[in-house]
Structure 1
Amino acid sequence: MVDRGATPATVPPPDDWPARPELILALNRTGSFDWDLTSGRLHLDPCALAVLHVPPDTFHGSITDLTGRLPRTDASRLDAVVSSALKDGSDSYAAYYRVRTGDGSLRWTYTQGRIQRDEEGRPCRIVGIVRDATEELEQAGPRELAAERRHQTTVVETITAALAHARTVQDVIDFFKDAQAVEHLGSDLLVLGLVESGRIHLVAEGPSVHFIPGTRYTRIDDNFPMSDVIRTMTPCFIESRGEFAAGYPWLWERIKDIGIASAAYLPLVAQARPIGALGLLYREARGFTQQERNLFIALSSSLAQSIARAMLFDQEHDIAEGLQQAMLPRRIPDVPGANIAVRYRSARMGRDIGGDWYDAIPLPGGRVGAVIGDVQGHDTHAAAVMGQLRIVLRAYATEGHAPATVMARASSFLHELDTDRFATCTYAEADLTTGVVQLVRAGHIDPLLRHTDGTCRRLPVSGGLPLGLSAEFGRLDYPVTTVELDPGETLLLFTDGLVEQPGSDLDEGMQQLTGIVREGPYELQKLADMLCEAVGERVGEDDMAVLLLRRQGAGARGGGKLQQHIAPADPEALSAGRHMIRAAVRAWGARERSDEIELVADELVTNALLHTDGAAVVTIRMLPGPERRVRVEVDDKSSALPRRREPGDSGVSGRGLLLVERLADVWGVEPRGGGKSVWCEFVVPDRHHAADNGPR
């Protein structure tokens, strides 16, 4: 027999008593989370991942990793609950919502969070739990759940929360097209119509299998319940089948087989103007109490305000996007030797336009300039500054200025404008004959280079300060990075809207973009479309511009002009100059004289840097005419002309011009307004003769 007089102290406890909190939570399918609002990092323990049906290998510590796990309506409602708690000073919140499992079914989940705030009362962290609530709600019984769903006050609160973040009319329509919308409203069927050009457009109905032919578009003066409530701006309550048949015989003949017995039609009125109507239909005859009617009117008012706000957003967004598009080039010119694709996509959040832009500028000598940029801010002022910057950059480039000069002048222009905005920008000048690309970057993101085999890598481009800031701080020197673009290779220029995501760093976004480009199609326009699709479903507050430049197999005839600015004590610029000359002479079919041209050019640059007080500018070009000649020019700011000297047996200087005279076919010196130019020319074999020795 059990000794009922035994005390707890005399009965030994289990070996694992008391159970650890982790075990208790796990056995009750309860997980924990820790959300740092400042950094955006989110921690979910293994049990929380299981409750939310998130595979551990797909979770990387960001709230965006949960995108798509909740139905749209549940996600909106949960977001509204959390946002309200953060704003009104609450220290906690709780909510029920559904999550999708791996097979697509839905399970109920309960979450509870405690909000931590800093000394100034701003929320900085949320710590809480999530647990499976499916069995809990099932045990409540269908009668209690049905009564709760039909409670009209809950209906108003649910709809208001769900539509709180609906930004566009399509967002509102999508909510009512959701299979759960009927359940949230507590009715058996619903219809939503909006006034468009004097007609009523039925934009949503549920379930869709009950669509009545002939009701998609109806006139406001037709004998329909929606028409009546829109004309009179008063609700219509139909409480029986007989009342329905007597009032609207044509419609009744087409819906009586569905089993509708009563209905409530609510006008949607905003600013004393009807914009649509909502119909809630029931299979059972029912009377509507005065309290229910008042709550329905409140529901229609809330819905009307959401739709009116969405309509205003759509109108303003269309106007803003049209203005933004007008600021961008109307067309991208056809450039011989190149394929170019451009795209612009406005932000999915916010109605303001942005300052992102692109441009492609045809230049003489088989060259093309490619520009990508982003003006600070998202408003009409940013768009206006963008339009002016695009024009002046194009003007400076077509005037023949070197890439570094183009960027410096654009920065000075922006600084002189009556604005406090700055802009980031990348300018690339590509010689399509040689494949040499000179890049200048002003605080912008590095571009990408996709090779012919599909591999893709980030191009590290030396950069300067953003436009406007470099002029303000007197740092207008922009270094030039020179790369080679082989036939079939693609240069990708883009703004940060393509790679930046909430809760993720830039490097992560660049890695994702590199993977997309690597796996993307070869056809340039399809690749550009794919990049837009990659960000199409992502909600962000920044717009996006992208420019793709691919060098074709056959470049323009003749050789263009290439320049490199080389400052004293700048070995990187000197190396870039040598690289530019080497690539140019090989692409022009002068491989047989490549070493001679490189050696002479290097000697002239070295003399300019040693015997003058400033920088040197080296220029290489292919001269037109029956005899193919490569011309190298080195400009400096000194007016002193070089002298050819005979060095002694032990002399270590004076041999430079002798070397130039021996290797070049002809050379000379030309005085310039602010200095001089030392030049030399080399006769190179016919292009067809050198084809077999060209670059492979």
Structure 2
Amino acid sequence: MAERGVSPEVQWPARPDTSLALNRMGTFDWDLEGGQMHLDATALEVFDLLPEEFSGTPEGLRDRVPSAEEARLDTRVAQALKDGRSHYGAYFRRRRRDGTPAWTHIQGHILRDADGRPHRIIGIVRDAAHDPDEPGAAGEQSEGRRRMTGVVERTTAILAHARTVNDVTDVLKDPEALGHLGAVSVMLGVVDGGRIHLVAEGQLGSYVPEIEYTRIDARLPMSEAVRTLQPVFIASREEFEQGYPELWPYIEPLSVHSGVYLPLIAQGRAIGALGLLYRRDGDFTAEERNLLMALGSGIAQSLQRAILFEQEHDLAEGLQRAMLPRRIPEIPGARIAVRYRAARMGRDIGGDWYDVVPLGEGRVGVMIGDVEGHDTDAAAVMGQLRIVLRAYVTEGHTPGTAMARACDFLRDLQTDRFATCTYAELDLNTGAVQMVRAGHLDPVVRRGDGSCHRLQVAGGLPLGLPQREHPGAGYPVTSLELHPGDTLLLCTDGLIERPQGDSETGMRELMDAVCDGPVDVEELADVLCDLIGDVGGGDDMALLLLRRRGTPAPRGGGPLRLRLAPGDPRGPTTARHLIRAAVAAWGAREQADEIELAADELMTNALVHTEGGGHVSMRMTAEGRLRIEVEDSSSALPHRREADDWSLSGRGLLLVEQLAQEWGVEPRGGGKCVWCEFAVPGPAAREAAAPARAAR
């Protein structure tokens, strides 16, 4: 090499290779199809590589070209190939052997075959450290501006769809989002009262535990940004150490040399702060500051929307839950689990509800329903409808009558809303179920053997629809039996809705989950809620599960229920015969005459003093008593009266009172139930009553 200041001996005119070498300009030849790359001696010198250090492929330059620069060059080449251009050029920074950066310029000529497909690039690479006015630096600055501007634009566009604080934090933690800003750590703090709560921290894990919860008046850069409403720019490690000594012990072990903390301002007040930490040294340019502040403004708007959305949703969900039962009563003989999940729809709330109504004597009513719409009016209607339906069934109305009256009530409200509903009344002593459905989903039952199926329940119109437009419409009652160990499932359509309205898929998934799920109703309810996750159709959901406890009754110990038709001369005779047989099966043969006589008096009273006939039923109670019930459609309550020696009537209830341990009358909607009970001693009765006692 020639001495400094002394020009080497160069022939005249200079050879091309001499001109290239003196200007530190080398050549390369890149085979795009084979992936091979050739660098001449000067090009190797520009990259500060020895011949044996270069692998002959583009990957061999990775020790000298930072990954960010490599990605930018690949993008430049790909764009030139895509656009059909024959040339491209770019400035980039390479890394010398000692790690110091240096400017480089590359220019390539693209060769294409007869079909226009690129197959080879021949070009030059030169040291651009001495270019006038550092065009390489200007190129990097221009590229950096475009990159940062693009990041701000893309991030703002993504954040425009964020609906929750978690959505905002997910964007900030995404390496593809803010990672292009060059930050090694991205932190988001939300103002909560007099403190700042760090809700997101991403990138390389440069997490400072002490700032998870900080006071606004603390000597920390994030607190200062919130307190002053001004961004805090930190240009060196010395500024971290001197300006924020409480933070410095956590910054010192990190490869952090600078940082910026931006206040997130909405409607004139700080709602949070954004922190970005960098490996770079030096202050931020005015253009960088403006871009970062624009980024902070976009994040602030999205964060405010998310906070307001969650506040409104929490308020709406609280209102919805306040209108649901505060607690589900303990029901002897059954295990019940309920769930409600609100749709993620801001302040919009739905009209889904459930309720459990103890009816005494081992009976319970369960209901579930859904009022049309997602607003406060739907929730208000739901609250009124739930309470009025509960009142009707508590008064003793039959399921069909209670549903019809609820329909009239909703129609009289003149809300232009309709509702679907299912109501089931269960006798847990016998397993008898009376169910009525108003436009709602069919219930599902899982039997004790694990099989499950949908119950075909006769249905009427949704509540609130004008019945006069549908002559003959009503609410028929379906009778069925729930055996010990069976589980009844009632739900609203939010449990089966799926995107694009695919409810059939949802129903199949529900049936599979019910069949394969745990026996415990609480665990099963959790499984079904997890089933919908976040893929539901945007509707709220209510769920009620009831599992009947106990074991099957012994042979001959099942309930008896008969219809008493007016004008049927054989009805009472048949009833007496069946009652005597059932009494014998329960081990009370010695009392058969008294029980039969009392039942006959109650049946005669119903047939003589009412016009619609009635029903007679007999069962064993949990206390080991044999209970006889006669229901009729008359609302007139019977009363005991004294009869003289020549009276032909008036002795029935006196006789029942003498024969039975207890008797009474219960209103049942449009009619009543007259009942009496007999104590049945002996092991047979205790065995028959064992399932009811165990169910408690």
Shorter-chain TM-score range:
0.5 to 0.7
For 2:428, give the aligned amino acid. L
Q: Is the 8 A contact 2:188 2:199 kept in 1?
A: yes
Q: How does 1:151-300 map to 2 (within 5 A)?
A: 151-207=147-203, 209-300=205-296
Shift of 1:192: 1.4
> Partner of 1:447 in structure 2?
443
Deviations 1:483-505 (A, max 9, x none): 11001111001111111111253
Deviations 1:329-376 (A, max 9, x none): 111111111111111111134431111100000013211000000011
- The Cα offsets for residues 524-568 of structure 1, whole Å up to 9 and x where unpaired, read as 111112222222333542111111111111699x9999899999x
Q: How does 1:602-641 map to 2 (within 5 A)?
A: 618=615, 620-622=617-619, 628=626, 630-631=628-629
Aligned-pair Cα RMSD in Å: 4.6
The alignment status of 1:496 with 2:509, answered yes or no, reads: no
Map of 2:325 onto structure 1: 329
Distance 2:624 2:305 in 1: 70
Name the SS of the counterpart of 2:357 in structure 1: strand
Give the corresponding residue for 1:519: 516
1:316 aligns with 2:312: yes
List per-residue Cα deviations over 1:35-86 (Å, max 9, x = no partner): xxxxxxxxxxxxxxxxxxxxxxxxxxxxxxxxxxxxxxxxxxxxxxxxxxxx
| One-letter amino acid matched to 1:534 | L
Task: Describe how 1:448-597 pairs up with structure 2 within 5 A.
Answer: 448-469=444-465, 471=467, 473=469, 477-553=474-550
Q: Quick one: distance in 1 between partners of 2:564 and 2:376?
A: 37
* Pair 302,322 (structure 1): closer, same or farther in 2 beyond 3 Å: same
Please give the secondary structure, in 1, of the residue aligned with 2:367.
strand
Q: Determine the C-alpha separation between the residues in 1 that align with 2:315 and 2:513.
A: 32
Whole-angstrom CA distance in 2 between matches of 1:476 and 1:206: 61
Task: State how far apart, in whole Å, the 2-side matches of 1:590 and 1:401 are.
Answer: 31
Structure 2 residue identity aligned to 1:529? D
Give me the whole-angstrom Cα distance separating, in 1, the residues matched to 2:671 and 2:275. 84
CA distance in 2, matches of 1:463, 1:363: 24
Residue 381 in structure 1 maps to residue 370 in structure 2: no
Letter in structure 2 aligned against 1:301: S
- Deviation at 1:199? 1.3
Aligned length: 498
CA contact (8 A) 1:156 1:295 kept: yes
Shift of 1:191: 1.6
For residue 340 of structure 2, give the secondary structure of its aligned residue in structure 1: strand
Cα offsets for 1:289-346 (capped at 9, x unmatched): 3333222222111110111111111111111111111101111111111111111111
Q: Which has the larger radius of gyration?
A: 2
List runs of 5+ in structure 1 lacking aligned partners. Answer: 1-142, 568-577, 609-613, 638-664, 666-671
In the alignment, which residue of structure 2 is the partner of 1:400?
A: 396
The amino acid that maps onto 2:322 is: A
- Could you tell me how far 1:241 is from its partner in structure 2? 3.3
SS, match of residue 421 in structure 1: coil
User: What is the aligned partner in structure 2 of residue 359 from structure 1?
Assistant: 355
Q: Which residue of 1 aligns with 2:20?
A: none
8 A contact 2:437–2:459 mirrored in 1: yes
Contact 2:216 2:223 in 1 (8 A): yes
One-letter amino acid of the counterpart of residue 371, structure 2: V
Q: Deviations over 1:237-290 (max 9, x none)?
A: 233334444433442343133121222221100110101111122101244333
Which stretch of the first structure deviates more once superposed, 338-347 or 150-159? 150-159
Q: Which shifted more, 329-338 or 538-547?
A: 538-547
**What percentage of residue pairs aligned between the two structures are identical?**
54
| 2:98 corresponding residue in structure 1 | none
Q: Tell me: CA distance 1:180–1:525, structure 2 relative to 1, closer, same or farther (3 Å).
A: same
Aligned partners of 1:287, 1:426: CA distance in 2, in Å? Answer: 69
Instruction: Compute the displacement of 1:184 (Å).
Output: 4.8
Name the SS of the counterpart of 2:387 in structure 1. Answer: helix
- Aligned CA distance change for structure 1 residues 472 and 310 (closer, same or farther; 3 Å): farther
CA distances 1:392-415 after superposition (whole Å, capped 9, x unpaired): 111100111110001000000000
How far apart are the structure 1 equivalents of 2:585 and 2:344? 50
Give the letter for the 1:191 counterpart.
Answer: M
C-alpha separation between the residues in 2 aligned to 1:421 and 1:681? 44
Per-residue deviation at 1:206? Answer: 2.4
Moved more, 181-190 or 454-463: 181-190
Report deviation, 1:679.
Answer: 11
| Structure 2 unpaired stretches of 5+ | 1-138, 567-573, 590-595, 636-658, 660-666, 692-696
Q: Contact conserved, 2:627 with 2:675, CA < 8 A, in 1?
A: no
- TM-score w.r.t. structure 2 length? 0.62
Shift, 1:211, TM fit: 1.8
CA, structure 1 residues 459+591, in 2 after alignment: closer, same or farther (shift >3 Å)? Answer: farther
Q: Which amino acid is 2:287 matched to? A: Q
Match of 1:542, as an amino acid? D
Structure 1 Cα separation of the partners of residues 495 and 371 of structure 2: 15
Compared CA separation, residues 562 and 164, structure 1 to 2 (3 A): farther
Kept in 2, the 8 Å contact 1:149–1:186? The answer is: no
SS of structure 1 residue aligned to 2:494? helix
Moved more, 371-380 or 623-632: 623-632
